[in-house]
A and B are shown apart, each in its own frame.
Chain A
Amino acid sequence: DVKVTQSSRYLVKRTGEKVFLECVQDMDHENMFWYRQDPGLGLRLIYFSYDVKMKEKGDIPEGYSVSREKKERFSLILESASTNQTSMYLCASSFLSGSNNEQFFGPGTRLTVL
């Protein structure tokens, strides 16, 4: 079974704090993704990575950065958390970059910024 794990299920932070969300996959997938999920908006892509040390901006990268030092690990960083970053964050991975390749998702981290 493909396993995508995320470091926390629930996280509460204060405005201005630096926040790290960690994601690990165990299937040797090249591709990894970070999304945020908000009611009525579906999932929106923040950043993705097709290789180690490589990153690409998604549709809503503002206020976020990422790091991929190892193939299995992809970190999402909120440099200075703000209340509008309160959301559910989902990590995903996939094997190939072809258009018909399934992405496998982690359980999500529900982040609250106070």
Chain B
Amino acid sequence: AQSVTQLDSHVSVSEGTPVLLRCNYSSSYSPSLFWYVQHPNKGLQLLLKYTSAATLVKGINGFEAEFKKSETSFHLTKPSAHMSDAAEYFCVVSSFSGGYNKLIFGAGTRLAVHP
């Protein structure tokens, strides 16, 4: 069965410093992986997705993630945090079950950015 674990429930950074949000996955086959972001009182928005092409995936707003099969990780990074990055971030793995593809969400990491 597929699963995903976000290693930090809260991360706090200063504006202008790097962001690292950690995610480990479990999958019995080559997975598709996603990062979604949810700003306060907004719906979820796709940041980036990995689909077995390049292992370094670039997304919107300067975010990127690297797929590391040996470490079963898909950590999200950004070189320099901006105040507008404050939000909740979800790591997601695609799961094939019962003949259908479904998304399995991590518990989320809340990112706070301080001036």
The chain A residues found within 8 Å of chain B, CB to CB, are 4, 35, 40-45, 48, 50, 56, 58, 90, 92, 97-103, 105-108
Tell me the smallest distance from the CB of A8 to a CB of chain B, in Å.
Answer: 14
Expressed in whole angstroms, the Cα–Cα distance for A35 and B100 within the complex equals 16
The chain B residues found within 8 Å of chain A, CB to CB, are 9, 31-32, 34, 36, 41-46, 49, 51, 90, 94, 96, 98, 100-103, 105-108
Residue of A with least CB distance to B30: A99
Q: Can you spell out 19 A-B residue pairs with CB atoms less than 8 angstroms apart?
A: A4-B43, A40-B9, A40-B107, A42-B105, A48-B100, A48-B102, A50-B100, A58-B102, A92-B44, A97-B101, A99-B94, A99-B101, A100-B32, A100-B49, A100-B94, A101-B101, A102-B34, A102-B46, A107-B42
Q: From A40, A97, A100, A106, give the contact of B100 (CB < 8 A).
A: A97
Tell me the smallest distance from the CB of A48 to a CB of chain B, in Å.
Answer: 7
Given contacts A4-B43, A42-B107, A43-B105, contact A100 B51 (CB under 8 A): yes
Q: SS class of chain A's interface: helix, strand, loop or mixed?
A: loop
Expressed in whole angstroms, the Cα–Cα distance for A84 and B31 within the complex equals 33
Q: SS class of chain B's interface: helix, strand, loop or mixed?
A: strand
Tell me the smallest distance from the CB of B26 to a CB of chain A, in Å.
Answer: 15
Contact present for A90 and B107 (CB under 8 Å): no
Contact present for A56 and B100 (CB under 8 Å): yes
Tell me the smallest distance from the CB of A51 to a CB of chain B, in Å.
Answer: 12
Given contacts A50-B100, A90-B44, A97-B100, contact A44 B49 (CB under 8 A): no
Tell me the smallest distance from the CB of B61 to a CB of chain A, in Å.
Answer: 16
